Structure 1
């Protein structure tokens, strides 16, 4: 009699029991399970590829660009010493809320960014099978992580817009400071805050590197874009990503100071970073440059809305 492995013996016992009970149970195989998963993902991919979702996602990209243009404008006002709304995402949304038709615009921004988050996350459905291949697993994991990170950024901004639309009072800097203070009070809290700070700094460095290398051009459908516009898109993208990287890197540094000194007042978001830049010797000039960079990123986002490509590895 040929030898039977553990899996085969257990399966044989199950078949014998089913036969005794009069059951005819099909035994699922790994291949059949993968086929089922593939069918489900194929259907989900059809949803995320639907032209209607892409059209609404383009609205989200336009909203994303406008928010950055507004952040640039608010940062410029801060550089000139003028008071007003915070120079961050919530300040930009507050500016939208105070404009004519602001409530409708907030709903449009929120829903558009939500669709954009779903559309961007849908790219993972194309790459997931690479996780099953050991030779491509690492690269696929990085691609999926980038897609999901972008989707999370869009989703958070979209939810913030919807909170403003329903009349909720939300301040990003205050909420970050509260969360930091609560975290510092728990065991190993400073370590957790320091870890988050290191992550934010890493994101800032990645943004700068993306601007230096021009990797952001993978998010533009270059064959559809006119050749004469490609250099313009690349220049504004480089400036925009560099400015965002510097600002968010500073956010991480301030958060790190909060973790090492237990001083929650140093924990701040983008507006706090803008204020810190304005407070140094050549602050107004530096902040003017950062403001121009955020405005440049807004222009790049509008170009991406016109010629979108969600695949970061194309």
Structure 2
């Protein structure tokens, strides 16, 4: 027997009050400052990836030009462990701050007219939060000494998955998802949708064109790199050759291996550097609302 309407309304009202209180906590200036620190770390990580990619383009040996390579570079520097802890805590704070945007939109899921749009917005918030959270946890693991290389771990997981029934299909599905993320990222660079993550009213008008140009270049470069990662993963599933199952480092290596590879890789590195500067601008003028 369903409860009377007044009880349902009272329960909904109490739930709304709880959500509002939690949302208020995530808007606390301390968390916002920590999230900004996470965005600074995120930008610096992309600048490090760009520097490592330039080294690869020049034929110099060094850490892999990917997220784990950037963290390993930090770990090997002065005060590396403390910096990794700071990066990890900042990125985890950024993850909470970003994912908490769902608390502003969740009620739209109860509205049939706006349910699909709300679900997409919430999915974006949670996906961004997940990416930041994984990077934050990785940084903390590296600070504790649990280091690994992303491309090697991906090959191991791919090999283990290929041994189970339907493993190739599963990897192909994951590869298609990665390619889709790459295409989405590329399209976002074309449309300028990333500017929704910048608090434009707070940013000086004279800086907006520069931020947009840097963001476009960065998103286009990241889109190409992610799509290539997906293609390489699909090749691993189709051929059962796990050597092609690599992450961002593998994509950079594949780019470097073509005819004009060093020049192309230099261009991708410039794109990642541009994204790093864009992320620093976002840290100065952050907006977590993906549909504002």
When the two structures are superposed, what TM-score results if normalisation uses the length of structure 2?
Answer: 0.97
Question: After TM superposition, which residue ranges in structure 1, 4 or more long, deviate above 4 angstroms?
Answer: none
Secondary structure at 1:29 match in 2:
helix
Output the CA distance in 2 between the equivalents of 1:135 and 1:255.
38
What is residue 273 of structure 2 aligned with on the other side? 295
1:118-197 alignment to 2 at 5 Å? Answer: 118-197=96-175
Deviation at 1:170, TM superposition (A): 1.5
Deviation at 1:27, TM superposition (A): 9.3
Secondary structure at 2:148 match in 1:
coil
Output the CA distance in 2 between the equivalents of 1:116 and 1:124.
14
Output the CA distance in 2 between the equivalents of 1:165 and 1:295.
25
Larger deviation: 182-191 or 209-218?
Answer: 182-191
Pairs aligned (count):
292
Match of 1:69 among 47, 70, 75: 47
Deviation at 1:36, TM superposition (A): 2.5
Q: Per-residue CA shift, 1:112-167, capped at 9, x if unaligned?
A: 00000000001000000000001100110110111111101101111111111001
Output the CA distance in 2 between the equivalents of 1:30 and 1:170.
51
Unaligned runs of at least 5 residues, structure 1: 1-6, 12-25
Contact preservation (8 Å) 1:220, 1:304? yes
1:1-314 alignment to 2 at 5 Å? Answer: 7=1, 29-314=7-292
Output the CA distance in 2 between the equivalents of 1:249 and 1:29.
51
When the two structures are superposed, what TM-score results if normalisation uses the length of structure 1?
Answer: 0.91
Deviation at 1:33, TM superposition (A): 2.6
Deviation at 1:29, TM superposition (A): 3.5
Q: Per-residue CA shift, 1:232-278, capped at 9, x if unaligned?
A: 00000000000000001000000001111111111100001100100
Output the CA distance in 1 between the equivalents of 2:177 and 2:257.
25
Secondary structure at 1:221 match in 2:
coil
CA RMSD of aligned residues (A): 1.3
Q: Per-residue CA shift, 1:203-254, capped at 9, x if unaligned?
A: 0000000000000000000000001100000000000000000001000000
Unaligned runs of at least 5 residues, structure 2: none
Output the CA distance in 2 between the equivalents of 1:280 and 1:91.
22
